[in-house]
Structure 1
Amino acid sequence: MSLIIEDKVQEERLILVDEQDNKVGVGTKMQVHLQGALHRAFSVFIFDSQGRLMLQQRASGKYHSGGLWTNSCCGHPRPGESNLAASTRRLYEEMGFHCELQEVDQILYRVDVSNGLVENEFNHTFIGLFERTPELNPEEAEGWQWISVPDVFTAVEQDSSRFTAWFKVILAHFGQETIQQWASRYR
């Protein structure tokens, strides 16, 4: 891991929450993930007008889950930043575009990720519509693809090791029918 990325991860501050998403404190990103402390997060699912989901392949150099496929964008709001503002910011920072986002649900989960880190998140789920080609930030994402909702469930079933732990939990929690309903809003 490069020194610059490592410093950025250690210095970024996350919002610690209780199981009702009430703020209870702030912690550094690395500390929070090492301790498995419950914190606020978001996941973005971008669809096109054909109902396909945009998958992101995380950059191999990421501090965890590098090279794995996941939802379109994910991250953490900063102290004082709304979930919508944070989702909009990170979508641009990772994938190089803006679009209107709408929060559709929340999920609480705890999963182990690579390098001994834990994602213990109160996760706000957003959806949006985008029809063009993203402009990836190579420090964040090294690939992307459009995939039908049924095909993403099949791909995860066939080889789950290619996907991030949180993406698999989100898919299992909401299920194919609900995610297909999200996609259908843009047809």
Structure 2
Amino acid sequence: MQEQKVILVSPQDDEIGVMEKMEAHQKGLLHRAFSVFIFDKNGRMLLQQRAAEKYHGGLLWTNACCSHPYPGESVEEAAARRLKEELGFNTPLKEIFAFTYKAGVENGLIEHEYDHVFVGEFDGEIKPNNKEVAAVAYHEIEDLALMLKEQPSLFTAWFKLAFPQIEKWWKKNYVAV
């Protein structure tokens, strides 16, 4: 199996090279990534519990999906591709912000990512890929805020960092039916 490459970027998200994914995480080099947040028609956020076998963050809860675009692939294309691969559905996505973070994670790896954040709405059938996802659940924003405060160790590093901005966006832009 060919190793996945990630796109190394400058702090302004300009492409500066490519590197094997695990090497970039071992060295903590800044690379392009994306995170997808999905809401249902009632404004609840879809979370996934990462599969136990993931190279880091196994069994932690996080946003609908996240990953890295392949070299030559746009971030938008990668977000749609990964949503289908992990959760088995497609829905229109919109990028709402980007942020950079650096966080140590399990196995001595370092997540240092320029993370493009997308949102979408979906109410259909979810078909999780059990190699990627252990469980899925929809949660109210207020419940998630409380869970993050009381049990932060249940969540991935990037989810904890992105959630306050997502929560602000949700309060300004989301209209529940």
Instruction: Give the alignment's TM-score, normalised by structure 1.
Output: 0.91
Q: Give 1:49's match in structure 2, choosing from 41, 44, 48.
A: 41
How far apart, in 1, do the equivalents of 2:98 and 2:125 lie?
A: 28
Structure 2 equivalent of residue 124 of structure 1: 116
Post-superposition offset of 1:171: 1.5
How far apart, in 1, do the equivalents of 2:166 and 2:45 lie?
A: 14
Cα separation, partners in 2 of 1:16 and 1:152, compared to 1, 3 Å: same
Structure 1 equivalent of residue 69 of structure 2: 77
CA displacement 1:3-52 (0-9 Å, x = unmatched):
xxxx66xx000000000000000000100000000000000000011000
Structure 2 equivalent of residue 177 of structure 1: 168
Post-superposition offset of 1:132: 1.7
Post-superposition offset of 1:180: 3.2
Structure 2: which 5+ runs fail to align? none
Residue correspondences, number: 177
How far apart, in 2, do the equivalents of 1:72 and 1:29 lie?
A: 21
Identity across the alignment (%): 44
- DSSP 3-state at the match of 1:115: helix
How far apart, in 2, do the equivalents of 1:181 and 1:133 lie?
A: 28
How far apart, in 2, do the equivalents of 1:130 and 1:180 lie?
A: 18
CA displacement 1:61-96 (0-9 Å, x = unmatched):
101010000001100000000001000000011111
Q: Please give the root-mean-square deviation of Cα atoms over the aligned residues, in Å.
A: 1.4
Structure 1 equivalent of residue 153 of structure 2: 161
CA displacement 1:137-184 (0-9 Å, x = unmatched):
000001010001111111111101100011101124x163323335x1
- Structure 1's consecutive aligned runs of 4 or more residues displaced over 4 angstroms after TM superposition are none
Instruction: Give the alignment's TM-score, normalised by structure 2.
Output: 0.96
Structure 1 equivalent of residue 53 of structure 2: 61
Structure 1: which 5+ runs fail to align? 1-6
